[in-house]
Structure 1
């Protein structure tokens, strides 16, 4: 019986939240592109995760998609609806919280946005990244979706008029908070702040609508649904292929460290390879795909990334003739073509994909709408599997802003035979 529905705005968020339940033996299914087919829901499934793919959408479009998913869950009497948000508050935070509130009226949404374990905290309604105001962090300088405010009620107000009440950890939840549509924004400076709020909500039977990032999923899995049935783990493979579509500076440092210190072979996509829609159908494109395939046969650790000089990226993005929303889909599509070419060779590789758009570009290309979480190889790095043309592929999903400088090196040490 389905006990919880989780709505994430990209595939990385869907995976790093869904895995918190799967790794505790809770049967979890992940559906992509906002497509939820009831006939595909297994009888023993307890948690459904739907990737709405609404991160890059307009506020109105994201509202519509999230409302439809939440409305379906409410009509199916699913006990808990969890709106997964980005730990750096990227995406359509206001419109999507409003959509959940409108689908399930007269219930508050308890919003716990912080991820204290990786230095992302909320204090007095203000969000911080490793001690910096959110707007001053690397996420305030994102080339596609910069977050320009740090006070969360102001971020929500950009897309929604829903009332937002800021609550400190020592302020109790009262009965008055449980009877109307509003957002209760809870400070989260420590994981115990999340636990305390969940304990209160369970005790007063107020756990209905909740929002936050992957650590909230982890605490929900541990405290509310945990059963610890038999769980799966990753398999070692002959090689590791890194498809890096992220432009996050944290990821760039990881790539440079892996190339400099651990023998990773690194190939940088040029502008044509990234942004020419038909490149991979051309003779040059096909030669490039063969080149990558041949390199993976002789090198155990290969990176293909999308980084360029800041001047080139800024100039390319600033060109008024270019559609910015189309540009952000072209890098994932390019990586999708390369991974598809490798998958067709049936090589014994693990594919590590950095950035939710990167994985989604591949899934769309091969028309896959379901993916199964297996385990976490490290916090925030989810191992999953999918079946394509009868062949099982092992994929690791990593958010661009996650991990330390030597993350790729540690993954290679664990995953390669």
Structure 2
């Protein structure tokens, strides 16, 4: 029976959250299909994660799909709904929190967006990234989703008129009073892991808790403190090679890729404009030769990165010359990576595929027609190992958010995954 329903706005977020439960032996399923009738929920599943893919949607569309999912969860009898948000507060934060709150009128939604372990904290209702205001961090210059505000109530109010209050680190939620019963969002300060523990214990002590929101740090705390049936924890398997499909354009990811190439012995290929923005390319003779070359290099070199970083002038010229809309770039890049990964899977290579950015893995799954994935374990903080099944084949994949991890995270992951390191 499903006890907890998690709603994520992208695939990486869904995996980052789901793995917090799966790694403790809690039966967890992740779906990329929003239609309730298409979800085959297993009897022993206690945590269900639904990826609404609503981050790039308009606020109105994001509200609709999240609200429909939350209402379905209420009808299904899930005791707690958890809205997964990005720790850098990207996406339709206000619209989606409003959508979840509207599914349970009269209940406060408690919002804990901090991730103290990676120095993303909330103080006085304001989000800080490594000591800097969110808007002044690397996420303020994100090529797709720049964050221009740091005060969380202001971020919410850009898309919602729901009342928002802030709870200081030592200020207790006034449970059992009329304050709690109004429809509102309570933003909770969290600066340390201990702050997170204290607040979650306080909230779980109230039998009326129905709605929470936050990132993977909150999921980790809930997985530890909620009552679930726990079984044997699964582990990843070692493979001959590791292929990294780098779909993120985040500066943090770019530094990680450069480090892996210069210090980690990775072979690196950069997709041309045609290779990443023309879906028809991979059906041409040239495209097929390119796929042959990638697979051959992966087999011999063992560690390979294919990235899609742009030179802005070249990209603008190509978009204009080939009548490609800017808003289609992310989808086309994900599709290009998906074509390469599909080839690796079809050849049944003994390779682990690591994908950066939720769009990348989602693009691959859409190409092969897979709508469900099973989280297995973590190969490191925020590095989620999963297993997808397609046409009778099982493929080990790893996902990592583009703005997450230390500069050597790709190298460390390879050391764990490759058979040569046994």
So what's the TM-score if we normalise by structure 2? Answer: 0.96
Q: Which residue of 1 aligns with 2:394?
A: 392
Per-residue CA distance 1:53-80 (angstroms, 9 max, x = gap): 0011110111110000000001122100
Q: Which residue of 1 aligns with 2:167?
A: 167
Q: Which residue of 1 aligns with 2:416?
A: 414
Q: What is the rounded CA distance, in whole Å, between the counterparts of 1:16 and 1:310 in structure 2?
A: 31
After alignment, is 194-203 or 146-155 more displaced?
194-203
Per-residue CA distance 1:320-364 (angstroms, 9 max, x = gap): 964232111110000000000111100000000000000000001
Q: What is the rounded CA distance, in whole Å, between the counterparts of 1:206 and 1:120 in structure 2?
A: 29
Q: How much has 1:318 moved relative to structure 2? A: 9.0
Q: What is the rounded CA distance, in whole Å, between the counterparts of 1:320 and 1:148 in structure 2?
A: 32
Query: In 2 relative to 1, CA 149–318 (structure 1 residues): closer, same or farther, beyond 3 Å?
Result: farther
Per-residue CA distance 1:290-327 (angstroms, 9 max, x = gap): 11111112110010000123444566679996423211
Q: In 2, are the aligned partners of 1:9 and 1:52 still within 8 Å (CA)?
A: yes
Q: What is the rounded CA distance, in whole Å, between the counterparts of 2:194 and 2:40 in structure 1?
A: 37
> Which segments of 5 or more consecutive residues in structure 2 lack a partner in the other structure?
none
Secondary structure, counterpart of 1:278 in structure 2: helix
Partner of residue 275 from structure 2, selected from 273, 276, 298? 273
Q: In 1, are the aligned partners of 2:11 and 2:361 still within 8 Å (CA)?
A: yes
Query: In 2 relative to 1, CA 35–374 (structure 1 residues): closer, same or farther, beyond 3 Å?
Result: farther
> Paired residues, what number?
417
Per-residue CA distance 1:127-158 (angstroms, 9 max, x = gap): 11111111111111111111111111111111
Q: How much has 1:225 moved relative to structure 2? A: 3.1
Q: In 2, are the aligned partners of 1:24 and 1:226 still within 8 Å (CA)?
A: no
Q: What is the rounded CA distance, in whole Å, between the counterparts of 2:253 and 2:156 in structure 1?
A: 28
Q: Which residue of 2 aligns with 1:374?
A: 376
Partner of residue 207 from structure 2, selected from 199, 202, 205? 205
Per-residue CA distance 1:23-51 (angstroms, 9 max, x = gap): 11110000014244466101111000000
Q: Which residue of 2 aligns with 1:286?
A: 288
- Do structure 1's residue 51 and structure 2's residue 51 form an aligned pair? yes
Q: What is the rounded CA distance, in whole Å, between the counterparts of 2:401 and 2:179 in structure 1?
A: 34
Secondary structure, counterpart of 1:6 in structure 2: strand
After alignment, is 304-313 or 238-247 more displaced?
304-313
Q: What is the rounded CA distance, in whole Å, between the counterparts of 2:46 and 2:229 in structure 1?
A: 11
Q: What is the rounded CA distance, in whole Å, between the counterparts of 2:388 and 2:155 in structure 1?
A: 36
Q: In 2, are the aligned partners of 1:33 and 1:53 still within 8 Å (CA)?
A: no
Secondary structure, counterpart of 1:196 in structure 2: helix
Per-residue CA distance 1:181-235 (angstroms, 9 max, x = gap): 1000001111222211111112221321000000100000001135542110000
Per-residue CA distance 1:255-298 (angstroms, 9 max, x = gap): 11111112100000011111113111222211111111111121
Q: Which residue of 1 aligns with 2:301?
A: 299
Query: In 2 relative to 1, CA 306–27 (structure 1 residues): closer, same or farther, beyond 3 Å?
Result: same
4+ residue stretches of structure 1 with deviation over 6 A? 314-320
After alignment, is 281-290 or 1-10 more displaced?
281-290
Query: In 2 relative to 1, CA 76–292 (structure 1 residues): closer, same or farther, beyond 3 Å?
Result: same
Q: In 2, are the aligned partners of 1:10 and 1:54 still within 8 Å (CA)?
A: yes
- Equivalent residues in 2 for 1:200-239, closer than 5 Å: 200-239=202-241
Q: What is the rounded CA distance, in whole Å, between the counterparts of 1:322 and 1:135 in structure 2?
A: 30
Q: In 1, are the aligned partners of 2:33 and 2:39 still within 8 Å (CA)?
A: no
Q: What is the rounded CA distance, in whole Å, between the counterparts of 1:312 and 1:163 in structure 2?
A: 45
Q: In 2, are the aligned partners of 1:254 and 1:407 still within 8 Å (CA)?
A: yes
